[in-house]
Amino acid sequence: MATTVYDTKSISLIDGTKIELKPLKIKHLRKFMEYFDVIKYANGDEESVQILSHCALVALSSQYPLIATIEDLEDSVDLPTVYSILEITAGISVNPEKQEDLKDQATDSKASSWDSLDLAELEAEVFLLGIWKDYEELETALSMPELMATLKSKRDLDYQEKKFLAAIQGVDLDKQSGSDPGNAWEEMKARVFNNKADGDPNDITAFKGSKARKAGFGIGMGLGYEDLT
């Protein structure tokens, strides 16, 4: 069975028009998160809905330019569809039937891990592939799932090259590391994007020194963090 970097889903406008949506390109995700960050100051669900609606407008207009204003959005979709747009394009899950406030639901979603990423370093590493003329072109071309998939592929290829050169010298990198660095990278990525930091000793803040190197992290190699403990 073929795998995909991300899923695309369709929504229906009030007039019956169907639109296929996919994760936001990084350029639009930046603007989206600027609006989304305001939700932490929302006073009640009514204000939260207004903020989330503007986030949905940013997401939808980037993929369907005919909807360009908040009035266009309100005339074109109902509230459940707004929540669907947020889920498909930015991974923000909101369910109004839950007892939890909308603000708390939104900020608990995996999109809140955005601040934990050192996006500049991630982009710098991928930019070395030489495909894009500048960072704006890169951010216009790639979504976060695409960036992470490209980065993983690059690191896997780099590791295989190092493994080959080491084998010529009679060194088995797999035996020395005790595990496949690709698996370590996948595990770390899952923790970051699922926003799980509940005391697990293998959490991202535990990846330091040699452990960080095994996972493919370090100076100029990706995620950064600030240890406040």
> pLDDT of 77-121, one tens digit each?
999 999 999 999 998 888 877 878 888 878 776 555 566 678 888
Identify the pLDDT of residue 110: 53
Q: Is 203 helix (H, G, I), strand (E, B) or coil?
A: coil
Q: Verify that 144 and 106 share a domain, yes or no.
A: no
Mean of pLDDT values over 158-163: 85
User: Distance between CA 221 and CA 155 in Å, rounded?
Assistant: 9
Q: Verify that 180 and 91 share a domain, yes or no.
A: no
**Which segment, 110-114, 144-148, 200-204, is predicted with the most confidence on average?**
144-148
Q: Verify that 106 and 125 share a domain, yes or no.
A: no
User: Distance between CA 217 and CA 211 in Å, rounded?
Assistant: 9
Mean of pLDDT values over 162-182: 71
**pLDDT of 39 above 50:** yes
Q: How many other CB atoms sit within 10 Å of the CB of residue 171?
A: 12
Global pTM exceeds 0.75: no
Q: Verify that 26 and 62 share a domain, yes or no.
A: yes
Half-sphere exposure of 139 (CA within 13 A, CB side): 14
**Which of residues 203 and 66 earns the better pLDDT score?**
66
Identify the pLDDT of residue 222: 45
Identify the pLDDT of residue 186: 55
The type of residue at 157 is L
User: Distance between CA 58 and CA 70 in Å, rounded?
Assistant: 9
Q: Verify that 77 and 157 share a domain, yes or no.
A: no
Identify the pLDDT of residue 3: 73
Q: Verify that 99 and 129 share a domain, yes or no.
A: no
| Contact call for residues 85 and 60 (beta carbons, < 8 A) | yes
Q: Is 142 helix (H, G, I), strand (E, B) or coil?
A: coil
Q: Verify that 128 and 193 share a domain, yes or no.
A: yes
Q: Verify that 123 and 59 share a domain, yes or no.
A: no
Among candidate residues 80, 114, 148, the one where a domain is terminated:
114
Mean of pLDDT values over 206-217: 49
**What is the total count of domains within the chain?**
2
Residue 19 Cα to chain centre, angstroms: 22
User: Distance between CA 192 and CA 223 in Å, rounded?
Assistant: 10
Mean of pLDDT values over 195-216: 48
